[in-house]
Amino acid sequence: MSEPGQKLRLGALIALVVGSMIGGGIFSLPQNMAARADVGAVLIGWGITAVGMLALAFV
């Protein structure tokens, strides 16, 4: 039989949980924004976020 693979340590497990929480929020946030805000406010928010992400991408 083959030996068992490497086990995840505490730091890797914490990073996995935090990444899952942030990843889940990405899908629920637009739904909450659309239910509570006007269309114009949502579009302005998405525009500001897009400009910020582009600025980070070019750094």
Are 29 and 20 within 8 A, CB to CB? Answer: no
19-to-12, 37, 51 alpha-carbon distances in Å: 10, 27, 23
pLDDT at 1 over 80: no
Least-confidence region, from 11-15, 26-30, 32-36, 41-45: 26-30
- Mean pLDDT for all residues in the chain: 86
Contacts of 33 (CB under 8 A, 6+ apart): 42, 45
Domain segments of the chain as ranges: 10-57
Model confidence pTM above 0.85: no
Are 22 and 15 within 8 A, CB to CB? Answer: no
> 4 falls in which pLDDT band (50, 70, 90)?
confident
Q: What is the mean pLDDT of residues 5-18?
A: 88
Q: What is the mean pLDDT of residues 32-40?
A: 87
